[in-house]
Amino acid sequence: MVRVICMRYKKEAWAHVDIPKEERIKRIRELYDVLKEYPDVKYEGLWVDDKGRGICIWEAPNAQVVREIVEKIWKRPFPDLIIEVRRIQ
């Protein structure tokens, strides 16, 4: 398993804070429904600033699996960047 980060930072794409709360709740429910198909994937959460730039953190077999999940939920390519990262010790 690897840690995967999805980043959203392009100005034209800063939409997280503009999405109505009801829509965000709907997407989270859809996410957890889709995650039932991926028992080895863990979604750790979304962090955003007041402009909507943000990151999602995942634990998954690889970045491609996360991309597949994200595109199922949003029905389109969504993050600006999806990368596998590791902790430096």
pLDDT (average), residues 60-68: 95
Under a CB-based contact definition with an 8 Å cutoff, are residues 86 and 30 in contact? Answer: no
Please tell me the number of Cα atoms within 13 Å of 20 on its side-chain side.
3
Give me the CATH number covering residue 74: 3.30.70.3090
pTM of structure? 0.81
Region 39-54: mean pLDDT is: 88
Q: Which domain holds residue 7?
A: 2-85
pLDDT at 18: 67
Number of domains in the chain: 1
**Whole-number percent of the chain with pLDDT over 90:** 47
